[in-house]
Amino acid sequence: MTRRMKLEQMLEKSPQDAFLNFGLAMELAKEGMTEEALSLFDRVLQIDPTYLTAYFQKGNTLINAGRVPEARTALSAGIAAARTLGDSHTESEMQAMLDTLR
C-alpha cells in the first residue's frame, strides 16, 4: 500500500484532520497532481487557518506549476497569517520565497 493510499484510508475515518489532509496534499503535489493538491491545501486552511506550512507549500506548488501570480497571493496570505500569529520565522521564510518571484 502506498503512502497516498494509507493517507486516503486514514482520511476516510478523520476527514477533518488538517495534518492528514496536508500529508495527502503533499503526496499529490509530488505526483504532479497540482489541482488536487491545491484543493487539499485549501481544505487544510479551511479546517485550520493557522496551518502556516499549508500556505508555504501551496505557494511552492503554484510556483512549480508556473502560476506565479497565484503563488504571490498564497504567500501573501501566509505572511499575513504568520504576522497575526507572531511567527516571524515562518513569515520571513515566506517573504524570502515571495521576494524571489519579483
pLDDT digit string (tens) for 36-75? 999 999 999 999 999 999 999 999 999 999 999 999 999 9
Residue 21 to residue 39: CA distance in whole angstroms: 10
**pTM, 2 dp:** 0.94
Give the mean pLDDT of 27-44: 97
With beta carbons less than 8 A apart as the criterion, state whether 4 and 31 touch.
yes
Q: Which residue, among 69, 93, 96, 66, has the nearest Cα to 82 in the 3D structure? A: 93
Half-sphere exposure of 69 (CA within 13 A, CB side): 0
Q: Answer yes or no: is pLDDT of 102 > 90.
A: no
Residue 61 to residue 39: CA distance in whole angstroms: 11
With beta carbons less than 8 A apart as the criterion, state whether 72 and 87 touch.
no
With beta carbons less than 8 A apart as the criterion, state whether 78 and 45 touch.
no
